[in-house]
Structure 1
């Protein structure tokens, strides 16, 4: 049974805690006609926007740049390629149950996908499962935290009770990020090496 939500609680929509300034620099974000223009502390620019059906090729190219370790951490098992039907499914979302944001690098042609974050809503539990991936060369710039913030914002806009995801225990950067953002962690007895992390919204 899902516990009742106290909408009058003053901290229900409290902002996420800021990330550690000693280890991560916050990217600068500005609105643009394409979405949100993001500038990292080292001067690189990306566009943060909703995923589109035309992003299939960029998603497949992004997959080819991932290390086997990155793939296993994101998909929780090994994959040698991202099949076209799967890429098409990931880019053609059902907006009533899904949200997906991408970080696009438009300094190259064709534009390349450098990160993606998504949620899938479970209406039965009033919650959403999330996943976040940032390409290795763009990591530790605060982009994962930015994607997570947008997913949290969207989950709250939807009025959901909880945001959650599965993370391998070896994926320390992701666990560290989620801890800093207020997520709670618990081990999965039936899946050694895996934690479920949750954030009450």
Structure 2
């Protein structure tokens, strides 16, 4: 189930209160609610905390290497969203009275015209609930509206969760010709 809200925020009867801008309250497979909206500059600390809480494996799959902490330069890059060539959707959930980032999907225009590279990451304790699918569907919809014709991601060949997600969403998979430890997932938009 998905509820869409825009401009004036969610009704005060939701657990998220009044939030301005386009956003959606989505119910996951286990019945838990998440708020999904475009990433904003004031999410910088949430993004830093989110990365810090990821398991070593989740960081390796997302950043294709080990990462102990998000550097200021990496955070600058991740927060650089223009909603056309670079877009990100953040998923937020209540955790002890605070809104905590529990997932994010993003794309960035690549050097090839009409193509964008995508990524999705879900907090370890929020996996297997359908959140990655919801985040990617929002991202795919916006990429299409923004005129992209192809979306791709480069992932570790051992990344089983990404393989399952990509299959579910209709991405095609092939080995990376430059690195046998990686695969490239592509989706025609």
Shared fold (TM-score greater than 0.5)?
yes
Kept in 2, the 8 Å contact 1:54–1:91? The answer is no
**Matching residue within 42, 45, 67 for 2:55:** 67
2:73 corresponds to 1:100: no
Structure with bigger strand share is 2
2:166 corresponds to 1:178: yes
Q: Residues 136-165 of structure 1, C-alpha deviation per residue, up to 9 Å, x if partnerless?
A: 111111111111111111111012111111
Within 2, Cα distance between the matches of 1:155 and 1:181? 14
- TM (normalized to structure 2)? 0.86
For residue 179 of structure 2, give the secondary structure of its aligned residue in structure 1.
coil
What's the counterpart of residue 192 of structure 1?
A: 180
What's the counterpart of residue 18 of structure 1?
A: none
- TM (normalized to structure 1)? 0.81
**Matching residue within 132, 153, 168 for 2:141:** 153
For residue 94 of structure 1, give the secondary structure of its aligned residue in structure 2.
coil
**Count of paired positions:** 174
Q: Residues 4-46 of structure 1, C-alpha deviation per residue, up to 9 Å, x if partnerless?
A: xxxxxxxxxxxxxxxxxxxxxxxx2212314101222333221
What's the counterpart of residue 41 of structure 2?
A: 53
Within 1, Cα distance between the matches of 2:112 and 2:165? 28
Kept in 2, the 8 Å contact 1:47–1:106? The answer is no
Any gaps of 5 or more consecutive residues in structure 2? 10-18
What's the counterpart of residue 16 of structure 2?
A: none
Within 2, Cα distance between the matches of 1:65 and 1:97? 28
Matches within 5 A, 1:112-131: 112-122=100-110, 124-131=112-119
Distance change in 2, residues 1:81/1:188 (3 Å): same
Any gaps of 5 or more consecutive residues in structure 1? 1-27
Within 2, Cα distance between the matches of 1:56 and 1:108? 20
Within 2, Cα distance between the matches of 1:152 and 1:123? 18
For residue 79 of structure 1, give the secondary structure of its aligned residue in structure 2.
coil
Within 2, Cα distance between the matches of 1:173 and 1:147? 14
Within 2, Cα distance between the matches of 1:147 and 1:42? 16
Q: Residues 147-189 of structure 1, C-alpha deviation per residue, up to 9 Å, x if partnerless?
A: 1111111111012111111011111111111112111111013
